[in-house]
């Protein structure tokens, strides 16, 4: 009994002096086997609860996701979109769908060549999820262009997206987003 009491006291003492850890839950999916577009849209809809959404996306050619962002903004979600200015000039880029939409704010990093691009593929919904990985918002990157059994073929990209639901990880990602969003050299698109 004395051993149990001493162990309990030691356990409580250690908990007072050790930092507390929040454990993140992570879910990782791979395209083209999985349609990441559908998963992204399900997560993006959770921003209706948080009323804020932070996005840094290198390539953005996905019409369905662009429509979803406009829908969310019209429902009151404040959306901050950070892009690479040269990548936005792609003829299939969908950022133009977000311009002049109430509650959507767009900035771009001035692309100065190969070594100085904005190459993130993330979104953050405060208190809910941090999404990161290699998949841009383009149907071929997300596995959303897989039709008639062609998924996994050489016509589709191999990518991943990881969804992290731990508070600390979300806070770290958000802190980094603020850092890149606030660069003086950024271009304000709106």
CB 54 within 8 A of CB 123: yes
Report DSSP letters for 26-55, one per residue.
Answer: EEEEEETTS-HHHHHHHHHTTHHHH-EEEE
What distance in Å separates the CA atoms of residue 30 and residue 184, rounded to the nearest whole number?
36
Name the pTM for this structure. 0.84
What distance in Å separates the CA atoms of residue 95 and residue 105, rounded to the nearest whole number?
11
Confidence (pLDDT) at 112: 81
Confidence (pLDDT) at 93: 96
> Which tens digit of pLDDT belongs to each residue from 44-73?
999 999 999 999 999 999 999 999 999 999
Report DSSP letters for 116-137, one per residue.
Answer: S----EEEEETTTEEEEES--B
Task: Kindly give, in sequence order, each residue whose CB lies less than 8 Å from that of residue 85, ignoring residues fewer than 6 positions away.
Answer: 108, 109, 110, 111, 187
Confidence (pLDDT) at 36: 94
Closest CA to 44 of 71, 25, 82: 71
What distance in Å separates the CA atoms of residue 111 and residue 96, rounded to the nearest whole number?
18
Domain ranges of the chain: 26-188
**Chunked in runs of 10, what are the mean pLDDT values of the chain (190 residues)?**
48 45 82 92 98 98 97 98 95 96 97 85 98 94 68 72 93 97 94
Confidence (pLDDT) at 17: 46
Q: What kind and span of H or E run contains 158? A: none
Confidence (pLDDT) at 166: 81
Confidence (pLDDT) at 13: 46
Region 26-188: CATH code: 3.30.870.10
């Amino acid at each position: 009994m004395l051993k149990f009491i001493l162990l309990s006291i030691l356990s409580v003492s250690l908990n007072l002096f050790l930092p507390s850890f929040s454990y993140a839950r992570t879910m990782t999916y791979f395209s083209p086997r999985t349609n990441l577009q559908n998963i992204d849209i399900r997560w993006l809809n959770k921003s209706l609860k948080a009323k804020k959404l932070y996005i840094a996306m290198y390539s953005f050619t996905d019409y369905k996701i662009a429509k979803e962002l406009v829908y969310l903004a019209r429902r009151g979600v404040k959306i901050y979109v950070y892009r690479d200015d040269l990548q936005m000039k792609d003829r299939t880029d969908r950022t133009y769908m977000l311009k002049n939409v109430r509650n959507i704010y767009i900035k771009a990093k001035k692309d100065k060549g190969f070594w100085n691009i904005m190459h993130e593929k993330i979104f953050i919904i405060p208190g809910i999820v941090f999404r990161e990985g290699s998949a841009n918002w383009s149907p071929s990157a997300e596995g959303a262009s897989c039709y008639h059994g062609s998924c996994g073929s050489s016509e589709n990209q191999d990518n991943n997206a990881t969804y992290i639901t731990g508070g600390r990880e979300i806070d770290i990602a958000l802190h980094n987003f603020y850092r890149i969003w606030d660069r003086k050299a950024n271009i304000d698109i709106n």
